[in-house]
Structure 1
């Protein structure tokens, strides 16, 4: 029995749903449990599991219809999910611009006043329904909750689902159980041996599956256990959790209030303490605060810091209600830049490496100049190169109003008091496990804090105030009365640590400090914010929502090579060619959790097993083969595996295919779910994420074939796969874009290859080594490249004659396919990247108007104008470039298409022999005119229409 996911998958709609979930940020369901890097969207996990479980029938269109109904991604499901109303203005704007709805304007709207209103007798619900139904999928999603937030489908929908699948379900959980029984005779068991943040096990359990989850990393195990048992807690357990959190917070708050360490002489409560690094200028000897900007706050009032020389260093004054001029000056008057320390006294710039006194030893190795801190250090020493300075405090008055000030004598007394408490207790706290005592192991990411600050133990990443506050919480969590509350306590501690280390950026625009892990690194800072205990309330008092969950789940720490649990479906997201150093970054949390983990999970270890972690080194492929061979051994013969990875290029595909092939698996299908978000400013360009779902079954045959025999088979399989996808596609709302067809070509080639036990003349070990180290020599890589070329030959634009398409050069095809993609509402950067690879385009930057995530598009003729396109020479001298230039000239020359035609005739050697091509190109361009998402093409499309008429009617 084949599964739905082996035959088809709603990639376009799932991409949009995944993007919506990702953009929900803190509103995501399980992200609130704690930080993990690269969690997969829950909607993607749900679709993958359902796609494995749901059988494929002999009616693929009906299968897709039913699948979308179950996922609440069909029209009726979207209506059920619609929870945001339209404003009268929104309803009017949409209706007025739609041919079907514009006749109802007078019937629905009152246009007599200043604001557009619905008429009293207009049925608002019906108007909203009709307007909503004519929107595209993306627009509909802006008004909808996520599929997981919909409590249930309506009875009629369940009737249609049950009729097609032969079930009698009234909920997703019942459907899961009934499909499981029909297929396996028992409830489906889903496994994930790289469980990470817990997305796949959580969603499997929420759907009603039995679940097995494992990971090498204890923090991953903690988060996954919590996703099932905390998010699946009963009402009574939730009440206990809330009571426990509240009691702990209030008790610690009483202790801090009694000490008076967060209150000033007026009784105002501190919210945030702002610190900076301070160092002596090597040129003039002035002790200088290293501040990237002198702007302190913006949102709640303009606040700046002013430096006043005292002869040896600087006094820092805090100015509230700064003028616009003062804010502008403060923004450009920082004392440290990417070039180094900029001394305000002598004006000299000193590179940070020179300031730290880094040097080279006799062997050419870098020796870092900062003092290496001792285990019990929590503060600088006076003779350190880097000192730390409290330069501003944000306070709140009893009436709720807030203000900044420079620390005065009382504030410094409070600082000294906190430091003394920590100094007197840190040794015993470390012995008791109340604060970290773990050494920071050397690693790609952890070396940054060793190098940049001299910190050698995880407690060094926290201020004295941070250590005191968190140790006070840990003390009560140790005494938590139940296992569940101890886990909840650990989650709260980790959240507080993430939001209150010395790696928390101060965000002046919002008057707040950010979390430590705003990216996948440990970023040391020159200035940072430390939250008062009061401001940790949002981190500690995080009340989770509960969901009906099948808690028949096993979560354990294990090397995936040693797993002995059998499942029906393995759905995994391995750290394949992954740049994220999970084992290093998670030690930040493990340092706080060590004792608590030992008590809550005595059978677990409490280190990250760095040596066993899968890393992209020379042993990577062999480790993966061992892991997936073991998973194959522990799955049913009629089971499936879905492997998620980030799609890259043919060589990566070849590597992964060979790994799976050698693990006893064969490829059945592959689907690409694209989500894009803007870069965080930490790297250039876009953060593009395309998650490929590679669907696999056990190899069952022992056949051997030869490459020359299977080349024809692969070409035919590619053709069959693409033609079947094109036949199934919805012309109004296309499911597949061109990169999906290319991906299908990859999958088709691998499907043929991996269906054989052996390929006669291929040594798979040699091929794997070539795919990794020298892809150009790999016959498997070349075979996949040929499959891709076959795909690109087949995906001709719908309105293009095939004989004319073949006459275009690669750069022209790139532009036309990009424009066709934009016509369909696709603005993903990954689409253009795939086109560039497929058409072998080296550079296309000069052709792009935007390369931002989800707004990527090509330049119009007006935007291209007559600019030189030296980086795209094939496009520069093409017929299409001539046509685009002619459109621009016609618009520029007082809207006279004759001028454009003259330009074409004057520059095209064989004008009369090229008229069919000219008409084809102009027809394609003019069709952009009435496309709602392309108003920027309106003027160019209109001129293309006029030029088309001139060329069509031209004669000798």
Structure 2
């Protein structure tokens, strides 16, 4: 081990089960280096992402985005521990069992169990009475399946026999699910997620088969993980994530039974990981302590607020939400105007605000109109802040005495640009003691409505209503402001309220630029500071989670949503990953913050050893067997900036559990971007991790496949860090809304790495042959696995073309990174060279060559390899995607992946639909004359000529005219016989692949093929 292990994970000594030989798998390839069930994994990851707020760790802090699905983390870790044997189909089946993705596990995950009647209608049984009781007795023959109609007509009742065992029942339910014929994604959509089912129920049937295959003696996943760790590393596996973020990876590793080391530069990430271990994964005593702590916190905060009498009207009503807006003086009219993008207060309650002119004071009173009509709501949809339809720039709008006044907000602020390119305006920069505007500030702030709630009394239900602001309300506002002003300096000194300046950055410049706020506490009004200050002062470690959730929903950046929850609701600051300032916002009363204080946490017990540290990834100094990391990359969320929103509240008063962490974002040390600094930081981090690994250690790096230079960048990083790639897998991890048109891939690439132990040399010529052999072998293996598993035919492919393509890329990268010297060039030195803009490096050219080699292996059946080489990227893309569509593979990410693979500049012009899960190519008729002009990617190609001919034939044009037009569109048609042969082959290919989806176009393709085949060439 090449590391001075100053930090150690405590590994408890355990008795080794009989038959488990330490080190038996030390030199055996890991299963993740050979196989991964990527199609099923994509469906499971999508299912988990669609849970949104219902995901296991989201309750700790929904403000952290980009959480990698737990099922994906589990698959990676098990894939690193399981061996790849000479029985790949059985290996894959075992992994699916352990992930809860085999047929019987999926039956156990169903929200509604398969009924006995449905089993009878689907599953062949020799003797019904072995499993079921049918009433009336003797009403059915003794075999199945039987028709549902027969059961219905006879009014028969079918029940399980009491002596049928749970495994046998599960087996029949699974068989019925398979016989329904639904794709895996559809079956998963009706099921619970694996972590929502008790392990002893989910894994009821697997252990005999698992232990038989692996030579283990486990009856639970933690037992299996420990035994596999002993067999591979000599001890329980030690797993680390040095970019722990929301804690998804460390939590799942600990839940599996690994000893876990988690670190992150950002202390909020460390806090979320601590919560994953100690709240969601806490013991029964920890959960009881949490319950008692939260109850005491709620009681204490509420008592302080009630003592001030600032949330009650004195008539039994309590304030639920206070609505505030900015006000500014119109420079043209001299009137003080409320800045409200909409005058609708609540859609559900049908309440709108009416601006009543006060000419004497040149301002507006705000009255509320209840039970607004449809016309009133429509009129109120546009307020005093509007957007110009051309520039989309907001402006202040109001009408006085029939005269309309419009002023750009940028003009109002006095925005200007300095000679050096920087910008400024005439907003006053707030001082540390400020928490509300001064009288002469450009922007003022006013309370314009309050939602009141009267608790249930006797038989009367709870009542809620919006009211305009009264003199009593304003008196209570002043009381809150005075209290905060009196205590602000003291609370800042104690750390209960922030005193930290906002450091300008890409995201944090917005509050400074648009409001003049210079300190983090200025993102909160007096009421928000009051409640948050009380909460912070009374919080233990558990309470800090309540505080961060509350801050997210109770800030000047908390948008008032007029249509949520009937009456409306304040939304989170970090619903987007920006610091967007608002013209109006909501402030929750203490009672309305119950979801911050009392969230519903899922419960799991973590019993393995865990350690959390706050440091940069390249500072780890702990022996680790497996690194599983999801590093920041490219356009990742700038957490190092936006999470200062929370750091400012915790840095001076962290609880003892968090006191050892550095409570600063340390922006300068954060890995970010895609430039040379990013690559150097990544190399430093992954080289350090490699140093902390044993010779047989593994790393799995997750990254989003977006950048056009991603493979060259990753090859550079891998080479320079002393690592080599052994596999890569692509998994769809995003929901429909995330698969936006115009972006490439919205999934995750899993890159598997090992230490590069040898200094091998090769020439580029020899490299070409080796890459081709490796890619072809990889494609052959995965294609073969689509045919069978454990002796049975699979209903669905394990791997689709996109997966095989990615595996081909990985095979190429595996060959490349195996070598230290290529064509006499030291690759570590080459990898460290700075990238010159628009200049291809030696590494770029190698990656390009490797990828092109991989793509050559993706020839669709029905196109000859010789003809495939003649096609350009757009032609290959269209034909390949047509092949996938014929197999009902129509997710947008596939089109994005292959467009990138075939270097199609604008794949969208070839698509009729860009829906995330229902994308499709344009038909010949839909394409019309598009792509016929010079510069289009299909211009002048044989495929474009064939598609144009199909359009003509569908319009019943004469065959001779169609032939003549086709020969005109293919200028070398008569001079080059291969062009005619290609046209005939393409027509036949289209006829076959369109027969089911577009029969009329398929018919036209058959006619064209016959016309061309029997054409007289003179």
Contact 1:799 1:924 in 2 (8 A): yes
Where does residue 366 of structure 1 map in the other structure?
Answer: 423
Cα distance per residue 1:846-883 (max 9 Å; x no partner): 22122243333222345435556659734355444455
- Partner secondary structure for residue 246 of structure 2: coil
Cα distance per residue 1:7-56 (max 9 Å; x no partner): 11122221221121111111111121113232211111111110110011
Call closer, same or farther: CA 1:387–1:727 in 2, change over 3 Å: same
Alignment of 1:770-919 (within 5 A): 772-774=835-837, 776-865=839-928, 870=933, 873-875=936-938, 877-885=940-948, 888=951, 898-899=956-957, 901=959, 904-909=962-967, 917=982
Contact 1:88 1:118 in 2 (8 A): no
Query: Does residue 1:62 correspond to 2:90, yes or no?
Result: yes
Call closer, same or farther: CA 1:928–1:391 in 2, change over 3 Å: farther
Call closer, same or farther: CA 1:890–1:394 in 2, change over 3 Å: farther
| CA distance, structure 1, for counterparts of residue 395 and residue 119 of structure 2 | 56
Cα distance per residue 1:651-678 (max 9 Å; x no partner): 3222222222222211111112222334
Contact 1:213 1:555 in 2 (8 A): yes
2:467 pairs with one of 394, 405, 414: 405
Where does residue 492 of structure 1 map in the other structure?
Answer: 546
Call closer, same or farther: CA 1:93–1:167 in 2, change over 3 Å: closer
2:481 pairs with one of 419, 436, 442: 419
Query: Does residue 1:502 correspond to 2:556, yes or no?
Result: yes
**Higher RCO, 1 or 2 (CA under 8 Å, sep at least 6)?**
2
Call closer, same or farther: CA 1:87–1:67 in 2, change over 3 Å: closer
| CA distance, structure 2, for counterparts of residue 89 and residue 309 of structure 1 | 71
Query: Could you tell me how far 1:560 is from its partner in structure 2?
Result: 2.6
| CA distance, structure 2, for counterparts of residue 751 and residue 619 of structure 1 | 25
- Partner secondary structure for residue 694 of structure 2: strand
Query: Could you tell me how far 1:218 is from its partner in structure 2?
Result: 1.0
Where does residue 226 of structure 2 map in the other structure?
Answer: 177
Task: After superposing the two structures, state which structure 1 stretch, 395-404 or 871-880, moved more.
Answer: 871-880
| CA distance, structure 2, for counterparts of residue 741 and residue 47 of structure 1 | 18
| CA distance, structure 2, for counterparts of residue 352 and residue 161 of structure 1 | 66
2:365 pairs with one of 287, 292, 315: 315
Contact 2:497 2:533 in 1 (8 A): yes
Contact 1:915 1:951 in 2 (8 A): no
Where does residue 648 of structure 1 map in the other structure?
Answer: 706
Query: Does residue 1:396 correspond to 2:436, yes or no?
Result: no
| CA distance, structure 1, for counterparts of residue 1010 and residue 373 of structure 2 | 61
1:695 pairs with one of 752, 767, 788: 752
Query: Could you tell me how far 1:214 is from its partner in structure 2?
Result: 1.1
| CA distance, structure 2, for counterparts of residue 861 and residue 449 of structure 1 | 52
Query: Does residue 1:144 correspond to 2:195, yes or no?
Result: no
Query: Does residue 1:13 correspond to 2:40, yes or no?
Result: yes
Query: Could you tell me how far 1:512 is from its partner in structure 2?
Result: 1.1
2:595 pairs with one of 524, 527, 538: 538
- Partner secondary structure for residue 751 of structure 1: helix
- Partner secondary structure for residue 517 of structure 1: helix
Call closer, same or farther: CA 1:364–1:201 in 2, change over 3 Å: closer
| CA distance, structure 2, for counterparts of residue 27 and residue 946 of structure 1 | 51
2:806 pairs with one of 706, 725, 743: 743
2:523 pairs with one of 447, 454, 461: 461
Call closer, same or farther: CA 1:364–1:30 in 2, change over 3 Å: closer
Call closer, same or farther: CA 1:827–1:942 in 2, change over 3 Å: closer
Query: Could you tell me how far 1:942 is from its partner in structure 2?
Result: 6.2
Cα distance per residue 1:316-348 (max 9 Å; x no partner): 222222222222222244523242223222534
TM-score, normalising length from structure 1? 0.90
Where does residue 342 of structure 1 map in the other structure?
Answer: 396
Alignment of 1:346-357 (within 5 A): 346-357=403-414
Call closer, same or farther: CA 1:687–1:814 in 2, change over 3 Å: closer
Where does residue 525 of structure 1 map in the other structure?
Answer: 582
1:555 pairs with one of 612, 616, 631: 612
Query: Could you tell me how far 1:461 is from its partner in structure 2?
Result: 0.8
Where does residue 108 of structure 1 map in the other structure?
Answer: 148
1:4 pairs with one of 28, 31, 35: 31
Query: Could you tell me how far 1:619 is from its partner in structure 2?
Result: 2.8
Alignment of 1:657-736 (within 5 A): 657-679=715-737, 685=742, 688-730=745-787, 732-736=795-799
Q: How big is the alpha-carbon RMSD for the aligned residues of Structure 1 and Structure 2?
A: 3.3
Call closer, same or farther: CA 1:84–1:509 in 2, change over 3 Å: farther
| CA distance, structure 2, for counterparts of residue 169 and residue 941 of structure 1 | 57
Call closer, same or farther: CA 1:903–1:596 in 2, change over 3 Å: farther
Where does residue 934 of structure 1 map in the other structure?
Answer: none
Contact 2:33 2:727 in 1 (8 A): yes
Contact 2:30 2:84 in 1 (8 A): yes
Query: Could you tell me how far 1:566 is from its partner in structure 2?
Result: 0.2
| CA distance, structure 2, for counterparts of residue 845 and residue 214 of structure 1 | 41
| CA distance, structure 2, for counterparts of residue 745 and residue 87 of structure 1 | 44
- Partner secondary structure for residue 579 of structure 2: coil
| CA distance, structure 1, for counterparts of residue 353 and residue 762 of structure 2 | 75
Query: Could you tell me how far 1:274 is from its partner in structure 2?
Result: 1.7
2:659 pairs with one of 602, 609, 612: 602
Query: Could you tell me how far 1:697 is from its partner in structure 2?
Result: 1.0
- Partner secondary structure for residue 381 of structure 1: coil
Contact 2:514 2:581 in 1 (8 A): yes
Cα distance per residue 1:881-922 (max 9 Å; x no partner): 45545555566x5xxxx5475663242118997786566445
Query: Could you tell me how far 1:403 is from its partner in structure 2?
Result: 2.2
Alignment of 1:88-167 (within 5 A): 107-109=147-149, 120-121=156-157, 130=176, 133=179, 134-152=181-199, 153-167=202-216
Alignment of 1:203-352 (within 5 A): 203-264=252-313, 266-298=315-347, 300-311=348-359, 312-337=362-387, 338-345=392-399, 346-352=403-409
| CA distance, structure 2, for counterparts of residue 640 and residue 82 of structure 1 | 35
| CA distance, structure 1, for counterparts of residue 56 and residue 42 of structure 2 | 18
1:768 pairs with one of 831, 838, 841: 831
Cα distance per residue 1:506-562 (max 9 Å; x no partner): 221211111010122111111211111111101111142221313411111123322
Where does residue 752 of structure 1 map in the other structure?
Answer: 815
Task: After superposing the two structures, state which structure 1 stretch, 386-395 or 758-767, moved more.
Answer: 758-767
| CA distance, structure 1, for counterparts of residue 471 and residue 154 of structure 2 | 63
| CA distance, structure 2, for counterparts of residue 513 and residue 568 of structure 1 | 45
Cα distance per residue 1:778-804 (max 9 Å; x no partner): 122112112222222211123434444
Task: After superposing the two structures, state which structure 1 stretch, 921-930 or 383-392, moved more.
Answer: 921-930
| CA distance, structure 1, for counterparts of residue 935 and residue 575 of structure 2 | 37
Contact 1:342 1:350 in 2 (8 A): yes
Gaps of at least 5 residues in structure 1 are 96-103, 478-485, 932-936
Call closer, same or farther: CA 1:376–1:649 in 2, change over 3 Å: closer
- Partner secondary structure for residue 83 of structure 1: coil
Call closer, same or farther: CA 1:757–1:763 in 2, change over 3 Å: closer
Contact 1:177 1:209 in 2 (8 A): yes
Call closer, same or farther: CA 1:752–1:918 in 2, change over 3 Å: closer
Where does residue 3 of structure 2 map in the other structure?
Answer: none
